[in-house]
Structure formats: structure tokens, C-alpha cells
Amino acid sequence: MNIIHVIILGIVEGITEFLPISSTFHLIWTSRLLSLPQSDFVKLFQVVIQAGAIGAVILLYGKEVLTNFSLMKKLIISFIPTAVVGLVLYELIKEVFFESIIATTIVFIIVGILFIIIERLITSGRISMKLDVSKLTYKDAILIGVFQALAVVPGVSRAGAVLVGMMILGYRRDESAKYSFILSIPTILAASAFDLIQMREVAFASASSSVLLLFGLVVSFIGALVGVRWLIGYLQKHSLELFGWYRVAVGIILLAALVA
């Protein structure tokens, strides 16, 4: 893995982390296209650089979170289901889903179809979205955490799972996106720290390994600033359906390439 790989993966992570298209899926496929084997260091890199993207959210929303104790409590409640599922299924996720590109791609497509179905239900009036984050209840916070827990499977998308879950519960798209950004702070920092501890021998095996990780963090931070600001503006006027069709189209193309 060289500096060019780090820049490319850092940009991909930063831009896709907060879009509902699964940054993990894009990192796995980008690594494959760059002919990078799924070594222990590459797997670690893919998780740890997510912490760089979190820096962008902290910069944009950190003050709001720290000054809103009620919001902080609800974030903790939403985080718990993900933490439990992640700890219980850690080995399965690493050994099965990160190794099965076909399974990950199929999941990617299925979630895209779900986006399209949800948006059609909203258009038909069967789902109404009028709530903002200030109306978030503790019950909804738990349910949102359960939705986010589904994203431990690569291809689902943490942001996408939270967005869909909140939309089903009646929260506006842009407000759902905002909460998904803020919820990413404890979720991704915990996941990155856990992986770093589990694979510390790999992370600190050499000075060059540590430098690559740090540089990847910086690049993903810059990319995330762009992604977060763009998505909030986009969802104020548009639906998730474009992301759904993107998932379906890209997933089918990639599956066809695998079969070929």
C-alpha cells in the first residue's frame, strides 16, 4: 500500500461515509480495483480512516451536541444497540462479509431497492415526514439504534440505515441526515478504536504503517467536509430514490463483472 492508494481510499471514504451508499462497500471495491489484497492492514485502514471523517462532523456539530444534554442522552441510547451487535458479531463480520464480495454486493443492491420502495410509499402518502430532531423521543432513539445496528453488515450503509429508519418514524430527510451525522461520532469512534486495539500490532508494526493511517485520516476528514455539506442541501429538496437507483445499477454492473 502506497501514498497514492491512501489518497484515493481517503477521498472515497470521506465523500461516501455520510452518503447512504455504504463507504465500506466502496472501500472494498476500490481496494479491489487498485489490486490491493484484503490484508489485515488494509482492513484496519478501511475502518480507522472513518475516524477522520468524524472530525468533519465534530467540527460542524460538536458545539451543538455538547450544549444539548437531552440530545447527548438520546445519542447514547441510539448507540447501545450498535455497540452490542458489533461486539457479538465482530468475528463473523470480519471473517465472512469482509471476505465475501458477492454477498456484500447483493446486500448493496437490496438496500437500494428498499430506498426506492420507501420513497414510493412517501410519495403515495403512506409515510408522512414532519418531525425534526427536537421531537425525538427515547423510544425512537432506541429504534434508530436498532436500524443503525443493521449497518454492521458491509453494504448496508450506517447513514442509509439511520435515514430510512427515521423517515419511517416520520422524521424529515434533512433532519434524519443531521442525526445520522451526529450519531456517527460515538459509533465510528468506538468501532475505529476497537479495531485499532484489536489490531495494534498491525497498526504500529512500522513507522510507515502509522504514517499511512494518519495521512488517510487527514484526507478522509477533508472529503467528509464536502460530503456532509452537500448531502444536507441535497436532502432538503430531493429524495433518496437517486441513491437507490445508483445502488441497483452499480451493484448489477459489479455482479456482472464478478460473474464474467
pLDDT in tens, 33-80: 998 877 777 777 777 788 888 888 899 888 888 899 999 999 999 999
Q: How confident is the model at residue 94 (pLDDT cuts 50, 70, 90)?
A: low
Identify the pLDDT of residue 96: 61
Q: What is the pTM of this model?
A: 0.85
DSSP conformation class of 95:
I
pLDDT at 147 over 90: yes
Provide the domain limits for residue 193. Answer: 3-259
Identify the pLDDT of residue 91: 67
SS3 per residue for 123-188? HCCCCCCCECHHHCCHHHHHHHHHHHHHHHCCCCCHHHHHHHHHHHCCECHHHHHHHHHHHHHHHH
Mean pLDDT lowest among 18-22, 97-101, 142-146: 97-101
Q: Which residue has the cell 441510539?
A: 78
Burial 220-256 (b: 16+ CB within 10 A, else e): bbbbbbebbeebbebbeeebbbebbebbbebbeebbe
pLDDT in tens, 2-23: 889 989 999 998 899 889 998 8
Element (DSSP H or E) covering residue 67: none
* 225: Cβ contacts below 8 Å, ≥ 6 apart: 14, 56, 59, 60
pLDDT in tens, 202-248: 656 677 777 888 888 899 999 999 988 898 888 888 899 999 999 99
Total residues belonging to the chain:
260
CA angle at residue 192 from 74 to 55, to 5 degrees?
Answer: 70
For the chain, how many structural domains are there in total?
1
> Rounded CA gap, 92 and 30, in Å?
22
- For range 155-178, the mean pLDDT: 92
Identify the pLDDT of residue 169: 94
